[in-house]
Amino acid sequence: MRVILVVLPTPEVGRSEREAIGAARALATAFAGEVNVALVGPAAESVAERPERAGLTLEASANARTFFIAHPMLRGYAPELYVSALEQLLATVRPDVILFPGRTIALEIAPRLAYRLGAAMVTDVIGLQAEDGAVVITKPVYGGKAHAMLVASRPPVVVCVRPRAFDPIEGEIVGGDTTWVEVALDPSLERTRLLERIQEESATGTALEEAQIVVSGGRGIGGPEGFRLLEELARWLGGAVGASRAACDAGWVPASWQIGQTGKKVAPDLYLAVGISGASQHVVGISRAKCIVAINTDPHAPIFKVADLGIVEAYENIIPVLIEEVKRLRVAGKA
C-alpha cells in the first residue's frame, strides 16, 4: 500500500497546508493508499496547547496516522534541526511520497531532507497523478510556457506543491492513530539562531499566496504613494497587494510583496496588474490566475498579451473610480 506523508512545519494551518493535504488525499485515493500527517515544531505545540487556535482538532478524519514532533530547539527557524527530527521519524515510517506545502521554511527543509534520503525532489508542483503504479508529477517549466511531466521511478520522492494549485480539504485534518514522537537533537547542527521575530503584516490582512483577489503594482506606479491607492482598492475588494520586482527593488514596498519567478507564485481568481510591463519573469508568478486585468499607459506592454482585459490609461484615472464603484456596491450590499 502506498503511503503519502504530509509534513506541516508552520505554527498555524492555513489554505496552503490544507491544499497539501488535499493533494495527498487525492493521490492516496488513486493508489488506494493512506495519508499520514506530521506536525513538526510549533505546529505540534499549537495542537497541545490550543488546538482550536491552530485550526486543528483531534477528531476523526480521513488520515490514517498523525505524528506530532515537538522539541524546544524547533521553536526557532532551524531547518537543519527540522531535517534531523524528520530523519528520526522516517527511520520507522517509510512513505512513498513526502509532501510539503509551498511555504518558505518548507522550501528550506525539503531539499535538505531529500539529499539525506537520497531521494528525488520536485518543487512548484501543480499536479500529482497515479499512472501504472508510478507517481506522475506536473510542474511549470520555461517560465510557465510549458509543463513538464516527471515520473518518480522509485520511492521516496519529496514534493513541494504550489499554493492554490490544489483543492484544500475542509474540516478536521488531525485524526486516525495519533503519536507523539520523541526526538534527540544535536545543538551543533543548528547553523542559524533566531534572535528576534518581526511579523510583517500584510497591507490588507490577507496573505498574498492565499488571496482570491490580488492588486499588484509595478514600476509604472511611480513611487510608494501610488501603492496607497492600490492598498485601499485591495481592502475594499477583500484582497491582497503584490508588486513586481522593480517596485520592490526600488524600495517602494517590502520584498515579501514580490510576485514572479524570484518572488511568490499566486493563483487568484482576479489579478489586477497596475503599471506592470509584464516581463516573462513576472508572468511566471501569475500563470495560474483565472482572470488578469491590466492597466498600463503603454499599449504595447507585454502584459496585454496575457491579460483577459486590458485598459490603456494612467492608473491615477482608473483606480480612484474603481474604489468609488466598489464602495458604492458594498454599501448597496451588492459586492
Four-CA torsion 151, 156, 162, 166, nearest 10 degrees: 80
- In angstroms, the CA 23 to CA 57 distance is 20
Least confident of 75-79, 150-154, 312-316: 75-79
Q: Are residues 185 and 241 in the same domain?
A: no
Measure the CA–CA gap between 27 and 31, rounded to whole angstroms: 6
Confidence of residue 175 (pLDDT cuts 50, 70, 90): low
Per-residue confidence (pLDDT) for residue 251, from 0 to 100: 94
Same domain, 97 and 213: no
pTM of the model: 0.78
Q: Residues 95, 156: one domain?
A: yes
Average pLDDT, the chain: 87
In degrees rounded to 5, what are phi and psi of residue 134?
-110, 160
Asked whether residue 90 is assigned to any structural domain, the reply reads: yes
Residue 125 lies in a domain: yes
Domain match, 184 and 230 both: no
Return the closest-CA partner of residue 204 out of 188, 186, 216, 192.
216
* CATH number of the domain where residue 323 is located: 3.40.50.1220
Output the CA torsion sign for 204, 209, 212, 214: positive
User: Do residue 157 and residue 70 come from a single domain?
Assistant: yes
φ, ψ (nearest 5 deg) of residue 321: -65, -40
Question: At 112, is the pLDDT very low, low, confident or very high (cuts 50, 70, 90)?
Answer: very high
Are 229 and 165 in a shared domain?
A: no
pLDDT bin (cut points 50, 70, 90) of residue 58 is very low
- CA 50 remoteness from chain centre: 24
What is the extent of the structural domain holding 292? 208-331
pLDDT at residue number 234: 94
C-beta of residue 96 within 8 angstroms of C-beta of residue 4: yes
**Overall average pLDDT of the 176-205 stretch:** 78
**Same domain? 136 vs 184:** yes
98 beta partners: 5, 158
pLDDT band at 323 (very low <50, low <70, confident <90, very high): very high
Question: Residue holding cell 511531466?
Answer: 149
**In angstroms, what is the C-alpha Rg of the chain?**
21
Cell 483531534 sits on residue: 58
**Can you tell me the mean pLDDT for 20-46?**
88
CATH number of the domain bearing residue 160: 3.40.50.620
Rounded alpha-carbon distances, angstroms, from residue 96 to 1, 31, 288 = 9, 11, 28
Contact (Cβ atoms closer than 8 angstroms) between residue 95 and residue 5: yes
Task: Give percent of the chain with pLDDT exceeding 70.
Answer: 90
Report, as an integer, the average pLDDT of 217-239: 94
Using CA atoms, how far residue 121 sits from 220, 227, 312, in Å, is 38, 38, 43
* Residue 139 scores a pLDDT above 50: yes
Q: How many CB atoms lie within 10 A of CB 229?
A: 20
Same domain, 165 and 288: no
Q: Is the dihedral of CA 77, 79, 81, 87 positive or negative?
A: positive
Question: At residue 103, does pLDDT exceed 50?
Answer: yes
Q: How many domains does the chain have?
A: 2
Together in a domain, 131 and 185:
yes
Mean pLDDT across 202-211 = 76
- In this prediction, residue 309 carries a pLDDT of 96
Q: 214 has which bridge partners?
A: 240, 271
- Check whether residue 37 and residue 100 sit in a common domain: yes
Q: What is the DSSP string of 220-276?
A: GG-SHHHHHHHHHHHHHHT-EEEE-HHHHHTTSS-GGGBBSTTSB----SEEEEES-
Q: What is the per-residue pLDDT for 41?
A: 87
Answer with the residue of higher pLDDT: 196 or 39. 39
pLDDT for the residue numbered 48 = 59
Average pLDDT over residues 250-259: 93
Is 55 part of any domain? yes
Buried b (16+ CB within 10 A) or exposed e, 285-324: bbbbbeebbbbbeeeebbbbebbeebbeeebeebbeebbe
Check pLDDT > 60 for residue 59. no
pLDDT of residue 54: 45
Mean pLDDT of 108-126: 94
- Would you say residue 198 has pLDDT above 80? no
Asked if 99 and 86 count as a contact pair (C-beta separation under 8 A), the reply is: no
Predicted confidence (pLDDT) at residue 55 exceeds the cutoff of 50: no
